[in-house]
Amino acid sequence: MTTSPDHAVAQFTDQGYVLLKQAVPDSIISTLDAAVRKLTDDRGPDLTHSSFNTNPALTHVRDAANVIAEYQLLFECADLMSVPHRILGGSLQVLGTEVLRREVYQQAHERWHRDSGPYLERPYDERNGPLHLKAQVFFTDTRQKESGNLVLIPGSHRWPANHRDDAYWTTANNALAHAVLPEGAVSIHAEPGDAVVFGNTMWHAVLPNRTQERRSAILRFGQAWLRPYDHLGDPAAAADHLSPYSRQLLGYHPAEVNPVDLYKDPTSTESWCAR
């Protein structure tokens, strides 16, 4: 890593993101990339979870650490793991593991959004970091323009939370359709082995890809105290006596749920008041 962990955390705190150069060694990138290509070439679209996205140019594997044995090599990379660990004050768990293949595609791959529903939007907490953060590890080179670049807005992690928004930004997305970016947006130009770390309230999008397929892994992190006391299981393992509502409250969920929805209020104030 070309930047020290202290410097990386300071940049993250100030800007809301940090690009970690060479966070993952080449040998791990090539091993993992080969495994990802083999799996997804063989199984293709049936690995893309419909809950995530309807982008036809994206193959998105969820629960990747369980599906791809080599994925856990990333957990061994101190330069990658130490920065989220420090940002979360040492209280870290892995909430999600993904891999993404983004084909050449003339439209924006992802619209402007934050990774949060209203209940994950909080004023930035200097001491404990964000509620969620993620590290995106690049397998392919995105140093060229128009290579499906991740774009984000430094400082936007401190913008006031809007508890009414739906995590998408209509004005910016209308402009994005005409290739216009919000003021201050920064485009990430990463090479294989680099990782970008940012929190859930950072505004970000992914631009069109006109060069070559872009492949990457995403690790999602959160405070370990978010872990439930009762470990969540396959809905088939939930006791028969649990009602659908109880299952929802306990975190059992049908396979087609969008994981982001698990962090939104599964009930509603009205339904509680009606009891």
Ligand X SMILES: O=C(O)CCC(=O)C(=O)O
Q: Which is nearer to ligand X, 68 or 152 (CB)?
A: 152
Q: Which is nearer to ligand X, 220 or 253 (CB)?
A: 220
Q: Which is nearer to ligand X, 79 or 110 (CB)?
A: 110
**Closest residue to ligand X: CB criterion:** 150
- Least spacing, CB of residue 270 vs ligand X, in Å: 30
CA dist 57 and 183 (Å) reads: 27
Which residue ranges make up the site for ligand X (CB under 6 A)? 100, 110, 115, 136, 150, 204, 206, 216, 218
Q: Quick one: 109 or 253, whose CB is closer to ligand X?
A: 109
Residue with tokens 């979360």: 88
| Closest distance of CB 136 from ligand X, Å | 6
SS3 of the chain: CCCCHHHHHHHHHHHCEEEECCCCCHHHHHHHHHHHHHHHHHHHHHHECCCCCCCCCEEEEECHHHHCHHHHHHHHCHHHHHHHHHHCCCCCEEEEEEEEEECCECCCCEEEECCCCHHHCCCCCCCCCCCEEEEEEECCCCCCCCECCEEECCCHHHCCCCCCCCCECHHHHHHHCCCCCCCCCEECCCCCCCEEEEECCCCEEECCECCCCEEEEEEEEECHHHCCCCCCCCHHHCCCCCCHHHHHHHCCCCCCCCHHHHHCCCCCHHHHHCC
Contact 5, 82 (CB under 8 A): yes
Q: How far is the CB of 110 from ligand X (least distance, A)?
A: 4
Query: Cα separation of 48 and 2, whole Å?
Result: 34
What minimum distance in Å lies between the beta carbon of 60 and ligand X?
Answer: 9
Q: Which of 97, 101, 98 is nearest to 45 (CA)?
A: 101
Q: Rank residues 33 and 115 by Cβ distance to ligand X and give the closer one.
A: 115
Nearer to ligand X, 248 or 258 (CB): 258
- Least CB distance to ligand X at residue 81 (A): 19
Distance in Å, CB of 100 to ligand X, minimum: 5
Which of residues 156 and 252 has its CB atom nearest to ligand X in the complex? Answer: 156
Minimum distance between the CB of residue 67 and ligand X, rounded to whole angstroms? 17
**Residue (250 or 262) nearer to ligand X, CB:** 262
The minimum distance between CB 44 and ligand X, in angstroms, equals 19
- The CA distance from 53 to 59, in Å, is 9
